[in-house]
Chain A
Amino acid sequence: MSNIILEARNISKVFTDPVQMNVLNDISFSVGKGEFVSVVGKSGCGKSTLLYILSTMDTDYQGELWIDDQKVTGQREQQLAAIRNEKIGFVFQFHYLLNEFTVLENITLPGRKLGKLSTQVLEDRAMKLLRTLGIEHLYNKKANRISGGEKQRVAIARALINEPQIIMGDEPTGNLDKKNSEIVFEIFQQLSQEFNQSLLIVTHDPEFAARTSRVIEMEDGKILRQ
């Protein structure tokens, strides 16, 4: 088994509306196991677009995407959903927690969808994650009753519940203040160093990027440096 978790091969994407425009131009790179990669670049350089292609949610592109030695490009919607469920964890700028559920239920939801472990085991695992993230006292609260920084940490726990191959983040600290950003970054770093977790984070915060193990710089749909 190779050490590469995610590999992009010559990925391009063209917007035709309103005018033809190359958003992504022949992007190729790979992420290895345990790497903490950040993608930086100016607003509109295509870094988020790239992330959504890598996350399998956007299927409208040219080139090939491989995740965990499996070709993802061209798979059907249902298989893509299964891949996202099992192999990718997401943290977005906005937390996207379900307000109808408690913190614990929000975290276990992707795990219950995967269906490999019983709800009891999932809840134990979710509690352990909450403890690692320092918010175990919140487990029984409804998701709309906790603060913004706490929500983002819950979202991280949710991303981790299925022990994914890679965590993807789209500006995960973009909505947070200095202190909470710091906490989130430390969590990521801890995941990378202690649990050998691969991470791919899109950010426009140069400070954040500078502290990751590898930085991919993008401009006008191309990779400048990696």
Chain B
Amino acid sequence: MNAKLIIDIALSLLMARWKQTLVAAIGVTFSITMFITLLGFMNGLNDMLDALILNRTAHVRLFTEIKPKADQPVYEHPEFKDNHNILHSIRSGNSRESIYNSGAIIKTLQQDNRVIGIAPKLKAQVFFNEGNIDITGVIDGIDVEAEAALFFFNDYVVKGNAADIRNLANTIILGKGLAEKLLVDIGDVVQITTAQGESFRLKVAGYFQSGLQDLDKVQSYASIQTVQKLLGKPADYITDIQLKVRDINDAPAMAKEFATTFNIDSEDIQSANAQFETGSSVRSLISYAVGITLLIVAGFGIYNILNMMIYEKMDSIAIMKATGFSGKDVNRIFMVIALSIGFFGGLTGLVFGFIISSIIDQIPFNTAALPTIKTYPINYDAIYYVIGFSFSMFTTFLAGYFPARKASKVDPVIIIRGK
């Protein structure tokens, strides 16, 4: 009963000053709209830029580092093993690039339910022979299906068919920059020479465009079998095992665990790409700062309007107090006024924010560097809407708090005797 009465009175006061109310609510609406649009757009861009790297990066990568053995033979020797030996010019001659026992490792990983995908890989350094010029390049031997499922490989094959490198023998997908350098088209044949000096002829099955130009100038892909043949290695020869894990935050721990279990080197995505996280968080921080600044400005608007309303309504406040409304009731009336401006202004702001985001989402955005992006990216994550709305309620609460407290302290005797 009391709550309904207070809301009734608050709404009547609001309606009596509906123009000012509207201005205050538009202030909130505007800032929430900008907040939502800004964050949606910024985070859309963030996601896109992150995806550029992160989508194509394994959460955990297992490989064998070429390095000297940690336990050198001198420490095995009974005469010297307790000494402090100083060794010079150690070579990593006996280590090899391939992963030992790769078949068994993959089988074990397939049993592990923290792992959602496994893609083996094989890297080979080659020269592409263009007349008498040799262009250095890298051919990755990949399992096309696994690569497509885990790293969206198909999205980046801009011409030709990715599956061809598996289905047709001796085929290759070239980076777009590399293909332009070599002046070849699909169906043409490129001549390559491996580091071991062997020459091969591979048929071009498609172009690949990653969005990173430097990468596209050297990178190309072929099936694992083709690359094994280039290198003259057996069928279990692979150099990398790439894993996607269920929870990316577990990646560092799992990388360590696998390194000890399989006696292998490992790298997790967090240590490999720390700079991207930093960039994203700084961009988010800027958008939050701008959004909150807008809201604070709107908050001052509400504060002013409420203050003015209280001066105008001194008489009403005095008589309400004289007829039995307590300071608390008066306080509540003005808080309801402030919060309903925040509530409706904020809600409309969310709607407008969504509409503007959707409009930006339709604007064409074509760039050679980003083959998969056709329009400006927008992130519609509900959390920005929740944050925006909470902020609008919070700032209007603060903006209403002080004027409401002032109203609750109005002494009716002073007002009534002053007449």
Contacts and interface: CB of A to CB of B under 8 A. Distances in A.
A158 B323 contact: yes
B73 interface: no
B419 A81 contact: no
Interface string A9-21: 0000000000000
Contacts of B5: 109, 112-113, 115
B325 interface: yes
Given A52-B417, A96-B319, A113 B324 contact: yes
Contact of A93 (B1, B320, B419): B419
Given A48-B417, A52-B417, A57 B322 contact: yes
B120 to A, nearest CB: 76
Interface in A138-163: 158
A114 B16 CA distance: 25
Given A52-B413, A52-B417, A170-B416, A100 B324 contact: no
Q: Is the interface of B mostly helix, strand, loop or mixed?
A: helix
Given A100-B16, A101-B12, A115-B1, A58 B324 contact: no
Nearest to A53: B413
Given A98-B316, A115-B1, A85 B16 contact: no
Nearest to A95: B319
B145 interface: no
B2 A109 contact: no
A84 B328 contact: no
Nearest to B411: A57
Contacts of A81: 321, 324-327, 329
Given A81-B326, A92-B419, 20 more contacts: A52-B413, A52-B416, A57-B322, A57-B413, A81-B325, A81-B329, A85-B325, A86-B324, A90-B322, A96-B315, A96-B318, A98-B316, A99-B16, A100-B316, A109-B323, A110-B324, A112-B5, A113-B323, A158-B323, A170-B416
A185 interface: no
A7 B198 CA distance: 117
Given A96-B315, A96-B318, A112-B5, A57 B324 contact: no
A115 B5 CA distance: 9
Contact of B322 (A55, A77, A114, A115): A55
Interface string A161-175: 000000000100000
Interface string A95-109: 011111100000001
B205 to A, nearest CB: 78
Most B CB contacts (10 A, CB to CB) among A84, A99, A100, A114 go to: A100
A58 B417 CA distance: 11
Interface residues of A, number: 30
Interface of B: 1-2, 5, 9, 12-13, 15-16, 315-316, 318-329, 411-413, 416-417, 419
A94 interface: yes
Contact of B324 (A85, A96, A97, A98): A85
Contacts of B327: 77-78, 81
A82 interface: yes
Contacts of B2: 113, 115
Interface in A160-199: 170
B11 to A, nearest CB: 10
A98 B319 CA distance: 9
A218 to B, nearest CB: 16
Interface of A: 48, 52, 55, 57-58, 77-78, 81-82, 84-86, 90, 92-94, 96-101, 109-110, 112-115, 158, 170
Contact of B323 (A77, A84, A115): A84
Contacts of A92: 322, 416, 419
Nearest to A90: B322
Given A100-B13, A115-B1, A90 B316 contact: no
B318 to A, nearest CB: 7
A84 B13 CA distance: 23
Contact of B413 (A58, A98, A100, A158): A58
Most A CB contacts (10 A, CB to CB) among B1, B16, B323, B327 go to: B323
B416 A100 contact: no
A11 to B, nearest CB: 15
A20 B321 CA distance: 29
Contacts of B417: 48, 52
Contacts of A58: 413
Nearest to A171: B419
A110 to B, nearest CB: 4
Given A57-B413, A78-B328, A96-B416, A90 B323 contact: yes
Nearest to B13: A100
16 contacts: A52-B413, A55-B322, A57-B412, A78-B328, A84-B322, A84-B324, A86-B324, A92-B322, A94-B419, A96-B316, A99-B316, A100-B16, A100-B316, A109-B9, A109-B320, A113-B325
Nearest to A158: B323
Contacts of A98: 12, 316, 319-320
B57 to A, nearest CB: 63
